[in-house]
Amino acid sequence: EIVLTQSPATLSLSPGERATLSCGASQSVSSNYLAWYQQKPGLAPSLLIYDASTRATGIPDRFSGSGSGTDFTLTIARLQPEDFAVYYCQHYGSSVTFGGGTKVEIK
């Protein structure tokens, strides 16, 4: 089972700033089967990025994913007020694991 470690646990930023979230895998992620989700309080997670770098339908281009192997990054180019939330990375394959999450909060 691949273990995903997200850092930092909390990111305190101001609207308009750039957010860089990291997701490290305990072993290489095959075929870059890595997704990112956003979760706002009281709501279900929603898909942002899949296959490490492909934006899901309707996701603004300020969200971008990159990385391969064991190191992946979610970048939010210019934080909007609605972007303050918790973000999870996920590996999907013969088994599925989630990272522990990064909370992006208003500074």
Total residues belonging to the chain:
107
- Window contacting another protein (CB under 8 A); options: 15-23, 27-35, 67-75, 76-84: 27-35
Q: Which residues inside 48-107 make contact with another protein, applying CB under 8 A? A: 50-51, 56, 88, 90, 92-101
Q: Which is nearer to another protein, 56 or 77 (CB)?
A: 56
Number of residues near another protein (by CB under 8 A)? 25
Q: Which is nearer to another protein, 17 or 100 (CB)?
A: 100
CB of 64 to another protein, least distance (A): 16
Query: Would you list the DSSP string of 14-78?
Result: -TTS-EEEEEEESS--GGG-EEEEEE-TTS--EEEEETTTEEPTT--TTEEEEEETTEEEEEESS
